[in-house]
Amino acid sequence: MLVILVKILKQLITLILDHRNRQQIAYGVAFSAFFGLLPFNFLLFVLLLFILCLFKFNLSSIFFGALIFKLLRVALDPVSDFLGYFLLVTCTPLVHFWTFLYNSPVFPWLNFNHTLQLGSFVLATLLFFPTYYGFLQFLDYFRQTLKPRLENSKLLTVLKASPVFHWAFKVKDWIA
Amino acid sequence: MLRIKGVIAFLILFSFLTVFSFFFLDNLLCRQLVSISESLHGAKVDIRHSRVSFSPFGLRLGGIEVADPDHPMQNIFELEHLTILIDLSALLRKKLIIETLSADGFQRNTQRRYSGALPKNPSVTRKHPKRTMPTHTQKDALQFFTTLFSQAADVDVSGLFDDQPLSMNTRTQSIRHSMKQDYQRSFTQLKHDPDFEKAFADIQHRFSSFGFKTSNLIAIQASFDELNTLKENTQKLRQQLAHKKKTLKTLNDSYYTQILDLDNAFTKDLRTVLARSPLTQYKTASFSQQFLKTPLEIRLQRYVDYYTKIMSFIPQKSARPSPLSSPNVSNRRRNRIITFPNQHPLPGFWLKTFSFRQQSNTEHIHVDVRDLCSDQDKIQRPCRSRFDYKKGSYSSLIKATLDQQEDDRILTLIFSHRGLPISGQIYQSALLDIDGSVRIDDAELNGQIRLQASHLRFDPPLLKHPLSTVFLSGLKAPKIDLTLDGTLSSPDIILSSDIDRHFSAAFRSYLSAKEAKMRASIRAQLQRELTSNKTLLSKDLQGQHQQMSRLIDADIARVSAFQKRLRDQESSLRDAKKRLTAAADRLKRKASEDAQKRKATAEEKINSSLNNQLKKLF
């Protein structure tokens, strides 16, 4: 398990450092909100998995994005609950729509009448494009500004010069 | 951006999962069911095999054994087969429509081969080591008693009673002898163990009771039956007690919240009034007389009425959680499930057919429930439940059928007497009008049939419907005459009875008792509120009184100090006056002395001058 985690982390770092696939990474992070924020629902999970397989999202970014959104969920749950309650109860014009869904087949299994479930889904949808564009900006900033600074930093220079670093690279080559 | 390979991978994964679940779903479901039911029940639940069928969609479980948590070597019940057929199309709409639920091979209190106790937490066991006797001794004892009970229960008394009384007596004697021997042997084995002292005392009591009744095997069986009935009754009473306790707790909580609100509001209001009042009025002498003579009861009653009205108009205020339960507020507020109007013709839950049958030498139970539904109006059918219970050949047969609907209830009671079953069906409408028919099963009787029951006794576990419990609990040994007039040739026989009057009276008495209870509780609540508020107000008044007394005391002290000062000044003035008077006297005396001296001097001078002048003249 740890090896897989390390591999995924390595892939993510490689992708962030690499100049290609920046859109895939950003989409992956944006899509990971659905995995991180929503409470578990089997049917929804299968649907999300299908979408995940359908589009070219970066899996490593989804994994780490979901981890971050899971941590953020503690703070975002009240917001989701409020949003769900607003959509389900306070917003009266939508009641007919919810009633229709409630009486349709399959949809009741999505637990959309659960305030947290609906609120989290809507919040994840609302956060999709802001997260996408925000992460794109972050990648640009990282590759143009932060990366050269990190490369020229004293810490990295010392690390590169250290025998441990050389030894680690040798081991890596040997394994490869 | 689209990834076709991903879709293929997904489909492969999904099909793999489907195939996997198709082959291993039975075991997975079985394990899941076992773990859930064990966690709920608190003892082992064994399901020997399970099978999921997709056409028709359902589940078939076999070899179900539910262990007794109190007696781990015994099963509460055992089912040979349990079949559940579910409507798949309704399940897509999240509606559980059970087409058929059938169970067979029901057996109660069967013995287990291994313990049904769930594994305990090792840390807890280490902390509280339980003093037990060796396992093999326990098992032996349990085995012995199990054999003993089954030995007594398996005796078919009906075949021996009339035909072979001598053989029966011999068998009775032999069984009694073996029972005594086994009992003594077992007792000598176990009597040294302190853990079993209590159990042995109980068993000894039971056997001593058997000693009086073991004139024949029927008495033994009756004793066992009595014991079982007592046990069941005790369990039922315990359940009822727990339910009542729960209800009382809920009521108490809500009352507590209301009283707390009332107290808070009242205290707040009183403090506001006192804070707004100028403090100078407490310094006046008339304050205490005016304020203390105010009719407190009337004022408090006004407050209570006012807040009671508010509480009744604002139910959410009364449902507001008390500060003691504040940690649960966030949990309650979050994760709400909103329900929308269900427009689908099917209800959320509908058990179409449930049948269950148990037949043994001594017992025959048949339960049949039809159309048990979460919303009876949707299916436009009443819920019909039928319960048949037969015990022994000479026991009375009681059958009860209850059809539940909004406006119409049909109650079928079937009695038997010495192997002659007579069934009476009572159609009981909302107005408790009774009309019905009588059927005679397996009997060759001609002419008029008349059944007179001076004492109608219902076995409580047989009728578990709340409505019947309400009515039947009110019927304490009434005299009910059921007169069945008719002949066998006519299929419908009129049933005339005064049971409706008894039912109405019982219902009225039940309602009046409930109303009186509610009135008493409300009165007690108001009294409590009144007392508490009175105490609160008197406390406040006492405080104010003390403050006022302190102020008056301070004033009195000031005045007395001033008076003392005045008295001091007066005395000092008196002293000064005395001093001045003395000085004046002294001055007067001195002046008079001086005047006398001057007078004398002047007189001397005048005399001398006169003398001189006289001398000069003369």
Q: Do the chains contact at A55 and B344, CB–CB below 8 Å?
A: no
Interface of A with B in 44-103 (CB under 8 A): 46, 49-50, 52-56, 77-78, 81, 85, 88-89, 95, 98-99, 102-103
Distance from C-alpha of B72 to C-alpha of B585, rounded to nearest angstrom = 123
Tracing tokens 């192997």 back to the chain, one arrives at B419
Set of chain A residues whose Cβ sits within 8 Å of the Cβ of B336: 81, 85, 114-115
The closest alpha carbon to B541, from B292, B298, B310, belongs to B292
Q: For chain B, say whether A128 makes contact (Cβ under 8 Å).
A: no
Tracing tokens 């009240």 back to the chain, one arrives at A78
Residue B359: which pLDDT band, with cuts at 50, 70 and 90?
confident
3-state secondary structure of A90: helix
Residue type at A4? I
Distance from C-alpha of B87 to C-alpha of A124, rounded to nearest angstrom = 35
The model's pLDDT over B194-211, given as tens digits with 9 standing for 90+, comes to 665 666 566 666 656 544
Q: Do the chains contact at A114 and B336, CB–CB below 8 Å?
A: yes
For the four alpha carbons of B530, B533, B536 and B537, in that order, the dihedral sign comes to negative
Q: Do the chains contact at A99 and B343, CB–CB below 8 Å?
A: yes
Q: Which of A74-83, A94-103, B39-48, B498-507 is predicted least confidently?
A: B498-507
DSSP state, A55?
B
**B339, closest residue in chain A (CA to CA):** A113
Q: Which pLDDT score, from 0 to 100, does residue B152 have?
A: 38
Q: Which pLDDT score, from 0 to 100, does residue B166 have?
A: 40
Set of chain A residues whose Cβ sits within 8 Å of the Cβ of B339: 113
Q: Which pLDDT score, from 0 to 100, does residue A134 have?
A: 93
Burial class (CB in 10 A: 0-12, 13-18, 19+), B611: exposed
Residue A35: which pLDDT band, with cuts at 50, 70 and 90?
very high
Set of chain B residues whose Cβ sits within 8 Å of the Cβ of A95: 340
Distance from C-alpha of B385 to C-alpha of B364, rounded to nearest angstrom = 17
Residue B572: which pLDDT band, with cuts at 50, 70 and 90?
very high
Average per-residue pLDDT in chain A?
85
State the Cα angle at B119 between B118 and B125, rounded to 5°: 125
Our CA-based measurement puts residue B92 at a distance from the nearest CA of chain A, in whole angstroms, of 5
Distance from C-alpha of B354 to C-alpha of B386, rounded to nearest angstrom = 10
Distance from C-alpha of A30 to C-alpha of A8, rounded to nearest angstrom = 18
Q: Which pLDDT score, from 0 to 100, does residue B589 have?
A: 92
Distance from C-alpha of B274 to C-alpha of B289, rounded to nearest angstrom = 17
Our CA-based measurement puts residue B478 at a distance from the nearest CA of chain A, in whole angstroms, of 51
Give strand pairing partners of B354: B101, B369
Torsion angles phi and psi, residue B338, rounded to 5 = -95, 130
Set of chain B residues whose Cβ sits within 8 Å of the Cβ of A94: none
Set of chain B residues whose Cβ sits within 8 Å of the Cβ of A50: 7, 10
Give strand pairing partners of B425: B412, B437
Selection from A102-111, B564-573, B601-610 with the highest mean pLDDT: B564-573
CA B332 to chain CA centroid, nearest Å: 22
What average pLDDT does this structure show over B584-609?
A: 90
Q: Where are the alpha helices (DSSP H) in B191-216?
A: 197-213
Out of A54, A106, A116, closest to residue B334 by CB: A116
pLDDT of B294 strictly over 60: no
**ipTM attached to this prediction:** 0.73
Set of chain B residues whose Cβ sits within 8 Å of the Cβ of A37: none
CB pairs under 8 A between A and B: 72
What average pLDDT does this structure show over B253-282?
A: 57
State the Cα angle at A17 between A12 and A21, rounded to 5°: 70
Distances (CA, A) of B51 to B32, B66, B75, B224, B579: 13, 19, 23, 38, 129
- Pairing of β B349-359 and β B96-104: parallel
Set of chain B residues whose Cβ sits within 8 Å of the Cβ of A116: 334-335
Instruction: Report yes or no: B301 and B308 within 8 Å, Cβ to Cβ.
Output: no
Selection from A44-48, B113-117, B457-461 with the highest mean pLDDT: A44-48
Residue B280: which pLDDT band, with cuts at 50, 70 and 90?
very low
For the four alpha carbons of B480, B485, B490 and B492, in that order, the dihedral sign comes to negative
Tracing tokens 């060796």 back to the chain, one arrives at B134
Q: Do the chains contact at A54 and B335, CB–CB below 8 Å?
A: no
pLDDT of A127 strictly over 90: yes
- Two tokens, residue B155: 């005796």
**A99, closest residue in chain B (CA to CA):** B340
pLDDT of B224 strictly over 70: no
Instruction: Report yes or no: B480 and B497 within 8 Å, Cβ to Cβ.
Output: yes
Q: Which pLDDT score, from 0 to 100, does residue B380 have?
A: 74
Report percent pLDDT > 90 for chain A. 23
The closest alpha carbon to B411, from B512, B497, B513, belongs to B497
Our CA-based measurement puts residue A16 at a distance from the nearest CA of chain B, in whole angstroms, of 19
